[in-house]
Chains A and B, each alone.
Chain A
Amino acid sequence: MIEVVASAIVESCLNRLLVLEPELTRSLENCKHKVIAVELRDWQHTFALTYVGHQFIVFSQYQEHADCHISASLETLTKLTNPSLLTQLIRQEKLDLEGDLQLAQNYSSAFSNIHIDWAEHLSRYIGDAPAQQVINSTQKAHVQGKTIGSSFKSTVTQLCQDELKVTIHPLELEQYKMHTRHIKNQAAQLEQRIQLLLNR
């Protein structure tokens, strides 16, 4: 049920995005009524998205045939805002794609070109000059926050990994994941063999 709630939240956010950025409607013209399914490897769950002309519909636990089926981790999906990375991620086996590649590229390109004019939207409530002032200050705060955040993250990571030794290095985690995937595959093969022997 959590997945259904998540799909409802994502759907209303995407539909809000359509209102805030009318250009998105034009960018998605070629995606109309086509279904793109996204399998989140970390959650082992498939969501699907379709654009019906003036709004998005998001499905959870999607088991039907989609025009394009993508399987990737959440982290990989966040990189998809750059459409040129799509083929690179497929080659790196971080992303599987079946079906209409063009559809995935269209979505990726449409979402990466979103530039919401926040000042324009805000000016309706507080006027032009104050809206511009608020946006400029927010942008400055965002850049400063990013710099402080990145330096803080790097310090904490070094502290946890090297000094306190309470967390493992990302490479070790990757190795562990590969190991578990290998064991999972071996177990599946063994299960298949046992099944074959039992069926004889």
Chain B
Amino acid sequence: MKESPQDTADFGYKTVDREEKASLVADVFHSVAAKYDIMNDLMSFGVHRLWKRQAIACSGVRKGHKVLDLAGGTGDLTAKFSQLVTESGQVILGDINDSMLKVGRDKLRDLGLVGNIEYVQMNAEALPFPDNSFDVITIAFGLRNVTDKDAALRSMYRILKPGGRLLVLEFSKTNNEALSKLYDLYSFNLLPTMGKIIANDSESYRYLAESIRMHPDQETLKSMMEEAGFEQTSYQNMTGGIVALHRGFKY
């Protein structure tokens, strides 16, 4: 029997069963969790720290806010948010992958960040929180791994408080042809080799490069956010559009 498009999802350049994608993505992150931070620094030459800084600057997070750092991985954003919201606020570090959550929890505890951080294993498509719960939701380099992105965006909209905002930091499309060629060369040749040498796992890093190419471009993601109900949506390209920061509000 032929599968309908609703039953399948992209996993990099492969098409897999929708049900299967979550476990395949989980395998990738179980595999890279231990060396996630060091690989991030090496692969992006440290620039991922600047992209995240910009996301924090645009978040408007203040004392007393309740923040959800979705697909928060090893907690780079949570670390800063925890200091900004203080004891009167709360940050929830959510990730579908327990290996990543464990690495994140250990890292943040080692930094002395305890008290206002909670760790929750969750699926972005069905967030386990009541309506209108959060002032800010961020999802950094996580949306492209979600099987049903529209459902995830609707779920985020539901749990945001009126006046709250969503920030999506994600790889995107560059319009610069020369940069695009260089980027392709880097991500399809150098990246898997680096993954093989450092994390002994070239396949996960090949998936990373492929999943970036399959992710919706800036305008498509913006319209997806609008369809989910977000208003005043906008995006800011960084590093020539290799990464884009999308922002949307719930009113």
Contacts and interface: CB of A to CB of B under 8 A. Distances in A.
Interface of A: 1, 4-5, 7-8, 33, 35, 48, 50, 52-53, 55, 57, 59-64
B40 interface: no
B238 A57 contact: no
A60 B57 contact: yes
Contacts, number: 42
Nearest to A34: B63
A1 B238 contact: yes
A33 B86 CA distance: 8
Given A52-B84, A52-B86, A53-B86, 5 more contacts: A4-B50, A8-B49, A52-B83, A55-B83, A60-B53
A61 B83 contact: no
Interface of B: 49-50, 53-54, 56-58, 60, 62-63, 80, 83-84, 86, 238-239
Contact of B56 (A1, A35, A59, A63): A59
B57 A62 contact: yes
B238 A7 contact: no
Contact of B80 (A4, A7, A57, A64): A57
B57 A59 contact: yes
Given A8-B49, A8-B53, A48-B57, A1 B83 contact: no
B58 A63 contact: yes
Q: Which 10 A-B pairs have the closest CB atoms?
A: A59-B57, A64-B60, A52-B83, A33-B63, A4-B50, A4-B54, A4-B53, A62-B57, A33-B86, A60-B57
B248 to A, nearest CB: 15
A45 to B, nearest CB: 12
9 contacts: A1-B239, A8-B50, A33-B62, A33-B63, A33-B84, A53-B83, A57-B84, A59-B56, A62-B57
A5 B238 CA distance: 13
Contacts of B238: 1
Contacts of A50: 84
Contacts of B60: 64
A37 to B, nearest CB: 11
Contacts of A64: 60
Nearest to B238: A1
A33 B60 CA distance: 13
B236 to A, nearest CB: 8
A64 B63 CA distance: 14
A8 B56 CA distance: 12
Nearest to B47: A1
Contacts of A60: 53-54, 57
- Chain B CB count within 10 A is highest, among A1, A50, A55, A61, for A1
B53 A7 contact: yes
A50 B49 CA distance: 19
Given A33-B86, A48-B57, A61-B57, A5 B50 contact: yes
